Amino acid sequence: MNTAAIKTLPGRYCNSLTEYSRFVTREVAIGDVPMGGNNPIRIQSMTTTDTMDTIGTVEQSIRMVDAGCEYVRITAPSIKEAQNLAEIKKQLRLRGYNVPLVADIHFTPNAAEVAARIVEKVRVNPGNYADKKKFDQIDYTDAEYQEELERIYKKFAPLVKICKEYGTAMRIGTNHGSLSDRIMSRYGDTPQGMVESAMEFMRICETLNYYNLVISMKSSNPQVMVQAYRLLVETMVSEGMNYPLHLGVTEAGDGEDGRIKSAVGIGTLLEDGLGDTVRVSLTEEPEAEAPVAIALVERYVERAKGERLKAKGNEISDEKNLSPFTFHLSPPIHDPYLYTRRHTYEANAFIGGHMVPRVVIDLSQKNLKDPSVLNEAGYLYSPLLDKYNMADQSVDFVYLADQLPSFNFPGNLKQLYNYKTWQKLSDKTNCHPLFTLQEYVDAEDSSSALNLVLIKLSDLENETFNLLPFDQKLVFVLETDAVHCMAEQRSFFFKMEELAIDVPVIVKRSYFFEVGGQKSEVGSQKYKVGSEIPATHHSQLTTHNSQLQLNAATDVGALLVDGFGDGIWVDAPQVETKAITSTAFGILQATRSRISKTEYISCPSCGRTLFDLMVTTQMIRSRTSHLKGLKIGIMGCIVNGPGEMADADYGYVGSGTDKVTLYRGKEAVKKNISSTNALDELIGIIKEDGNWVEIAELSVS
């Protein structure tokens, strides 16, 4: 293939670590909606109906297209479903919907070979296309490994030849949870194993001169997923490939958790210009997924045009107001393929070092005469007892600016005041000053515990920075007003590493949203398939809360997945405090930096699903959501579910009509039990393991 157009990557896996630059992939034809190259980032999703239910599948596909999907994926577990894709396609075309269809294949090459003659694209999972999982650990010699590759070639080559003949595209979609025994034996359950799993299949395609490929590296753990995509890009480029990337976080769950987890994984990659299509997997109706994907992608429409923007609200600034600051960055010391938390000292035995990242919220505009104002910060005030009960998600600092509360605060909640106001406090217990850089340099007094100093990337080139008195009470609060704020804040961390400065850093991000206007009409908006999503179109986000979840999870989550940040401060004056608190803790949970609740790894469901996933997930959640730190997998089928649960502690997996199999880790401990008592049985197993706790609130004075 022609590799002349493939750029080398200064950031190793992306064009630039400091400014938005889309990694241009080769264009792949998928029906009338090409992907990659300079095409817009495409939106897609997958049906949840039984593929044999033609009308149900057609109607759901139409709802998905109307919600913004540009491709519709449909499961084809066996030949009969693959054949029925022809009828589904016919019915869609009769109704005027030319959306390209994608057949989703696991384990069944014969179904793939039928589907490839009917639909515009097939998706194969290299972990199970030619292999059945037996969880065998085998030490292959190089010759034996080569034999395995030849075996795969024999199974896979016929499909490639059909795709070539029919002009069908193919996604080679690796899943972290379903790597083959061969890959697991040689590479383990690692991003490298995920990449190699796809590369084996990609190399076969190239041997056969077939290049109509799209690649994905999904995981339910955003950190693993991000590392795998990065490594994939670097590996592809080193082998002269530039196939489009399909981005997704698998089994992300539902509601806020699902959105935040998806945004952390997908958003982190989009920030670095990676990604040609996005599928958000939520345990909700599939038409609920496209608006989230659109909201994630639309932030990059203007950036991709190379227009220079300034983040103040969502306004486009005129040239002269733009920050001319450019930072000269040395190659980062940080390894983008391996999580390592940035080394910092532990300030006041509270922040930095090995401490969990701290959460700051702004209460300065609230009624500070009423102790219940702290409810939304996770401190539940009981007027009867005049005490606070601490919730699982209770913030660590509240910023009060220059406002003085008229009630006593809980003992473990720190208050932040502007320096001049802090100076005047008679009792400074648990109260800490927030300085500007200049104030701190000029200050005559400071706290003997913690001093927080506002800083921006550009400050590092100011004289004032060189005058900064360093001691281990100092904590930076990193602000930005750049549009590509993540890259700017990341540059600050790179520079800290380069200068060997180990001051803990709280990442602060402020959001202002457009008021009024477009959002109410979005539900009825119909996208023209193949068209670019209008920059001004605001997706079906019902509230600013939803926008905040996605934007903050992208911007702050992208730093945390790389181990940057000892605290987070999300500011959004138009969003209620409770939602800000919940978003902040959600981001920490999704990045696995600080666990404050149960994690649900629930599949989005598809035509294989054996129970109502949404209802079941809600039922399980209602009885286990207080089990902080446990990971519970909820999977619709036994074929893929156990593999896809990844590192769940327990699994609830559909294994037949009204039948469930329960897992402890990867081991099936109760097989095919009635779904009526399955949840009670699951709780029994959790209790047996000593992992059950009764709901109780921790009381604090």
Note the residues at the interface with ligand SF4 (CB under 6 A): 603-606, 608-609, 635-637, 639-641, 644
Spatial distance between the Cα atoms of 265 and 554, rounded to a whole number of angstroms: 8
Could you tell me the smallest distance in angstroms from the CB atom of residue 45 to ligand SF4? Answer: 12
Could you tell me the smallest distance in angstroms from the CB atom of residue 178 to ligand SF4? Answer: 9
The nearer residue to ligand SF4, 45 or 547, going by C-beta atoms, is 45
Which H, E and C letters describe 164-196, residue by residue?
HHHCCEEEEEEEHHHCCHHHHHHHCCCHHHHHH
Q: Could you tell me the two tokens for 583?
A: 């978003």
Could you tell me the smallest distance in angstroms from the CB atom of residue 654 to ligand SF4? Answer: 7
Nearest position to ligand SF4, beta carbon? 636
Residue ranges of E strands in 457-556: 474-478, 505-510
CA 203 from centre of chain? 29
Could you tell me the smallest distance in angstroms from the CB atom of residue 259 to ligand SF4? Answer: 18
Q: Which residues contact 107 (CB under 8 A, 6 or more apart)?
A: 77, 128, 129, 132, 639
Contact 468, 440 (CB under 8 A): yes
For residue 619, the SS3 value is helix
Residue ranges of E strands in 427-578: 431-435, 451-455, 474-478, 505-510, 567-571
The nearer residue to ligand SF4, 540 or 640, going by C-beta atoms, is 640
The nearer residue to ligand SF4, 266 or 282, going by C-beta atoms, is 282
What's phi and psi for 206, nearest 5 deg? -70, -35
Chain length of the chain: 701
Could you tell me the smallest distance in angstroms from the CB atom of residue 544 to ligand SF4? Answer: 31
The nearer residue to ligand SF4, 104 or 555, going by C-beta atoms, is 104
The nearer residue to ligand SF4, 567 or 633, going by C-beta atoms, is 633
Q: Could you tell me the two tokens for 110?
A: 């014969």
The nearer residue to ligand SF4, 226 or 637, going by C-beta atoms, is 637
- Phi/psi class of residue 599: alpha, beta or left (left: φ > 0; alpha: ψ in -120 to 50)? beta
Strands 71-75 vs 599-602: parallel, antiparallel or unpaired: unpaired
Contact 36, 241 (CB under 8 A): no
Could you tell me the smallest distance in angstroms from the CB atom of residue 681 to ligand SF4? Answer: 20
The nearer residue to ligand SF4, 446 or 609, going by C-beta atoms, is 609
The nearer residue to ligand SF4, 483 or 637, going by C-beta atoms, is 637
Q: Could you tell me the two tokens for 362?
A: 């702004």
Name the residue among 527, 590, 614 with its Cα closest to residue 291.
527
The nearer residue to ligand SF4, 410 or 641, going by C-beta atoms, is 641
Spatial distance between the Cα atoms of 450 and 348, rounded to a whole number of angstroms: 6
Could you tell me the smallest distance in angstroms from the CB atom of residue 554 to ligand SF4? Answer: 25
The nearer residue to ligand SF4, 197 or 480, going by C-beta atoms, is 197
Spatial distance between the Cα atoms of 504 and 569, rounded to a whole number of angstroms: 14
Could you tell me the smallest distance in angstroms from the CB atom of residue 105 to ligand SF4? Answer: 11
Burial code (b: 16+ CB inside 10 Å, e: under 16) for 465-502 equals eeebeeebbbbbbbbbebbbbbbbbbbbbbbbbeeeeb
Contact 512, 574 (CB under 8 A): yes
Spatial distance between the Cα atoms of 617 and 631, rounded to a whole number of angstroms: 13
Could you tell me the smallest distance in angstroms from the CB atom of residue 85 to ligand SF4? Answer: 16
Tracing tokens 């938390």 back to the chain, one arrives at: 341
The nearer residue to ligand SF4, 182 or 608, going by C-beta atoms, is 608
Could you tell me the smallest distance in angstroms from the CB atom of residue 122 to ligand SF4? Answer: 15
Spatial distance between the Cα atoms of 1 and 207, rounded to a whole number of angstroms: 10
Could you tell me the smallest distance in angstroms from the CB atom of residue 255 to ligand SF4? Answer: 18
Name the residue among 293, 254, 271, 312 with its Cα closest to residue 537.
293
Spatial distance between the Cα atoms of 299 and 308, rounded to a whole number of angstroms: 13
The nearer residue to ligand SF4, 162 or 648, going by C-beta atoms, is 648
Name the residue among 94, 125, 89, 87 with its Cα closest to residue 109.
125
What's phi and psi for 515, nearest 5 deg? -105, 140
CA atoms within 13 A on the CB side of 514: 14
Could you tell me the smallest distance in angstroms from the CB atom of residue 639 to ligand SF4? Answer: 6
Could you tell me the smallest distance in angstroms from the CB atom of residue 291 to ligand SF4? Answer: 20
Could you tell me the smallest distance in angstroms from the CB atom of residue 104 to ligand SF4? Answer: 8
Could you tell me the smallest distance in angstroms from the CB atom of residue 606 to ligand SF4? Answer: 3
The dihedral built from the CA positions of residue 416, 422, 425 and 427, taken in this order, carries a sign that is positive
Concatenated DSSP letters of 252-303: --SHHHHHHHHIIIIIHHHHTT--SEE----SS-GGGHHHHHHHHHHHHHHH
Could you tell me the smallest distance in angstroms from the CB atom of residue 101 to ligand SF4? Answer: 17
The nearer residue to ligand SF4, 454 or 639, going by C-beta atoms, is 639
The nearer residue to ligand SF4, 582 or 640, going by C-beta atoms, is 640
The nearer residue to ligand SF4, 371 or 641, going by C-beta atoms, is 641
The nearer residue to ligand SF4, 125 or 546, going by C-beta atoms, is 125
